Amino acid sequence: MRQSRRLLALVSALALVTSLAAGCGGSDDSGGGNGLEKKDMKVASLPLVDGAALYIAQKQGLFKAEGLNVKIVPVAQSIKALPALKNGEVDAIAGANYVSFLQANEQGAIKLSVLAEAATLTSNMMNVVVMPNSKIKTAKDLEGKKVAVNILNNIQGLTLDSILKANNVDPKKVNYVAVPFPQMAAALQKGQVDAIHTVEPFLSDTEKKLGARVVVDGGSEPVTGMPISGFVSTQEFTKKNPKTAAAFQRAIIKAQKIASQDRKRVEEVLPGYAKIDPQVASVITLPGYPTSLSTTRMQQIVDLMTSAGLLKQKPDLKSILFQPTS
């Protein structure tokens, strides 16, 4: 009788442990909670305002709530993380400029999958600036001059070319030079370039430290509101890990909503990952933070790239924009 009671107690204890484990979403090391294919993700990220949602999601526990453990890997240029993305060394890239990655998709370097939109252009968030004593006064004065951009043939050149054309300036006469964002201010100060096309938070930091003067508002018409960057992965990753990709997308979109509604949340994370003074973070111009993945909005950048000859044909956005299955 005593043995029966002990056996019953043991069975009850084991049942309780099993129930608790199931309730906590227990899984092995490869899988994640909530039925995810994998819980660990590596995300490459640039030190730009574009990727603020990644750090907000991390700080607010939004990834954790989805059963994800996200490790952030800093990079200076999104295109330099492309080989790592292709090889599976990172699972996604935050703040990746659309031009470079849509081109890589067309060229067969990767099969692109956009998990979420990161930023849209706003007035004065990405400007062409010069030293205070520069003779460059107008957009027309940029003809024949060296202008630094983060990467050649990327979103910066595409949008700036559109603005220059709208102001009767020949973009072909502007000499673009590739300089990573963190090195642009030094290149301008040393006279290695005549102007820099820089983005926040580097823009405000350069203006503060060098007294740099704005020559062209890089978010002005006809590119105001243009989608410029996103959270990207590969179709191989999203097909193999659809639930994980959907969980990441949900967390990022929640963070995008926070960023779009509460500037303070952006200011809180910027000094840490962008390495800027909190006072600079409080005055920078923020981009738009889209809270959905819009085919209509993405078509704008595709149309502009096609008309500029950066894409030979328009890609199938339905296959590129990740839509989770129910």
What is d(CA 93, CA 91) in angstroms, rounded to the nearest whole number?
7
What is d(CA 94, CA 74) in angstroms, rounded to the nearest whole number?
10
The predicted structure's pLDDT at residue 16: 35
Q: Residues of the chain with pLDDT > 90: what percent?
A: 78
Helices 295-307 and 155-166 pack at an angle, to 10 degrees, of: 70
The structure's pTM equals 0.82
Of 200, 201, 193, nearest to 174 by C-alpha is: 193
Of 253, 233, 245, nearest to 60 by C-alpha is: 253
On the question of pLDDT at 28 being above 60, the answer is: no
On the question of pLDDT at 12 being above 50, the answer is: no
On the question of pLDDT at 108 being above 60, the answer is: yes
Q: Quick: pLDDT tens for 35-62.
A: 999 999 999 998 889 999 999 999 999 9
What does the block give as tokens for 205?
């930091």
Q: Quick: pLDDT tens for 283-304.
A: 999 999 999 999 999 999 999 9
Q: Quick: pLDDT tens for 211-259.
A: 999 999 999 999 999 999 999 999 999 999 999 999 999 999 999 999 9
What is d(CA 323, CA 115) in angstroms, rounded to the nearest whole number?
8
What is d(CA 231, CA 97) in angstroms, rounded to the nearest whole number?
9
Q: Quick: pLDDT tens for 61-81.
A: 999 999 999 999 998 777 788
Chain-wide mean pLDDT for the chain?
88
Of 223, 221, 48, 227, nearest to 120 by C-alpha is: 227
Q: Bridge partners of 148? A: 177, 196
Domains along the chain? 33-120+226-318 (3.40.190.10), 126-216 (3.40.190.10)
Q: Over range 179-195, report the average pLDDT.
A: 96
Count of Cβ atoms closer than 10 Å to residue 213 Cβ: 17
Q: Over range 117-143, report the average pLDDT.
A: 96
Of 323, 324, 321, nearest to 102 by C-alpha is: 321
The predicted structure's pLDDT at residue 77: 75
